[in-house]
Amino acid sequence: MNDVQPLGPTDLAALAAGIERTNELLTRVLAEVATTPSTHAAFVDAGYVYAATGRLVAGTEDRRAFDLDAEGIIEAFIDKARMIFPDSRLLRVYWYDGARRRIHTQEQQRIAELPDVKVRLGNLNANNQQKGVDSLIRSDLESLARHRAISDAVLIGGDEDLVSAVEAAQGYGARVHLWGIEAAGGRNQAEPLLWEVDSQRTFDLDFCKPYVTRRTGAECLEPVAGEPPVPARDEVRFVGARVAAQWLSERGRDWVATLLPGHPYLPGSVDQELLTAAEALLHHSLRGHADLRRVLRDGFWDHVQGQY
């Protein structure tokens, strides 16, 4: 015997009202999802970047034999990610390196001061080998993916131990993209890592060369006698504006206008051009002076934005 009673007018009205409320809620949720931008982050194994770029450009993995423009190459990675993920915003760049007793070196301090960069330190053992870096990468990558803080993760490294980090992030729905540095005559990334990621990209000699300078002798490790003093911030800002004015005159407003959507960042190649032009005018290297390089860009942008 069927005990189900037909719905009366009042019940039908209540059911219709409930359905309408549910539809309104779903509409709001879908609208919020549609307007929420995707987010990406970069996870950089600094030990891998130093070793791979040093080997490719300078022929050695010994950090004492070459200088890496860390700020420049980080900017280049950010710029490349912006091109690949045009509808996504950058959360930050995580820079993983080793240090004795996890105490920042001067170089690591300068990198930590960069905008949108987080330095995470593992230990260095007696053989100058990094310890604990892979576990830091896994922890950060898994945590951000689990909390839906990122939709895409750029992983720059090559160690097979990173496979578990990739699998953990993918398990929470994030896509992981492996970037590497070209290796002459072989690979510098573990095959199991290559198999697990969602996409791969390799940077060649032309990409890396502007950021690596080989030291030619002991005199390059010490301040040069008679070297002019570090330029003042106001002078650097003025030079940034001067270069912007020169480029506007030579390259035209349309070319310079193509840089505006990327503010406050400059494409890696353009940033290197700006640095080279400024150093020629200042007669002083700005490499290793992260604060002055930011001032240089500020001066450049001040002039460009004042023209539009």
Domain count, the chain: 2
Residues 160, 199, single domain; the answer is yes
Regarding predicted confidence, which is higher, 61 or 66? 66
Q: Which residues contact 177 (CB under 8 A, 6 or more apart)?
A: 84, 152, 153, 154, 155, 197, 198, 199, 200, 201
* Domain of residue 133, CATH code: 3.40.50.1010
For 139-148, 173-182, 249-258, which range has the lowest pLDDT when averaged over its residues? 249-258
Residues 171, 108, single domain; the answer is yes
What is the pTM assigned to this prediction? Answer: 0.66
Query: Which pLDDT score is estimated for 188?
Result: 86
Averaged pLDDT of the chain: 82
In a domain, 82, yes or no: yes
Residues 118, 255, single domain; the answer is no
* pLDDT, mean of residues 120-132: 68
Cα–Cα–Cα angle for 187, 188, 191, nearest 5°?
A: 70
- Identify the domain boundary among 214, 242, 264: 214
- pLDDT of 41 over the 90 cut: yes
In a domain, 264, yes or no: yes
In a domain, 246, yes or no: yes
In a domain, 16, yes or no: no
Domain membership of residue 276 as a residue range: 233-306
Residues 47, 141, single domain; the answer is yes
* Token pair recorded at residue 97: 């390196």
pLDDT bin (cut points 50, 70, 90) of residue 30 is low
In a domain, 184, yes or no: yes
Residues 203, 261, single domain; the answer is no
Per residue in 73-121, pLDDT (tens digit) is: 999 999 999 999 988 999 999 999 887 777 777 888 888 988 899 999 8
Residues 142, 110, single domain; the answer is yes
Residues 184, 237, single domain; the answer is no
For residues 296, 297, 299, 301, the Cα torsion angle rounded to the nearest 10 degrees is 170
Which DSSP helix (H) or strand (E) runs through 109? Answer: helix 106-112
Residues 177, 294, single domain; the answer is no
Decide: residue 275, CB within 10 A, 0-12 exposed, 13-18 middle, 19+ buried: buried
CB 60 within 8 A of CB 54: yes
Q: Which residues contact 130 (CB under 8 A, 6 or more apart)?
A: 47, 97, 98, 122, 123, 124
Residues 148, 193, single domain; the answer is yes
In a domain, 22, yes or no: no
Q: What percent of the chain has pLDDT above 70?
A: 82
Residue 68 CA to residue 291 CA, distance in Å, equals 17
Per residue in 213-241, pLDDT (tens digit) is: 988 764 344 444 444 577 888 898 898 88
In a domain, 12, yes or no: no
Which residue, 139, 143, 137, 134, is CA-closest to 174? 143
Regarding predicted confidence, which is higher, 193 or 35? 193
pLDDT bin (cut points 50, 70, 90) of residue 287 is low
In a domain, 114, yes or no: yes
Residues 130, 210, single domain; the answer is yes
CB 226 within 8 A of CB 271: no
Residues 110, 185, single domain; the answer is yes
Query: Which pLDDT score is estimated for 93?
Result: 96
Residues 204, 251, single domain; the answer is no
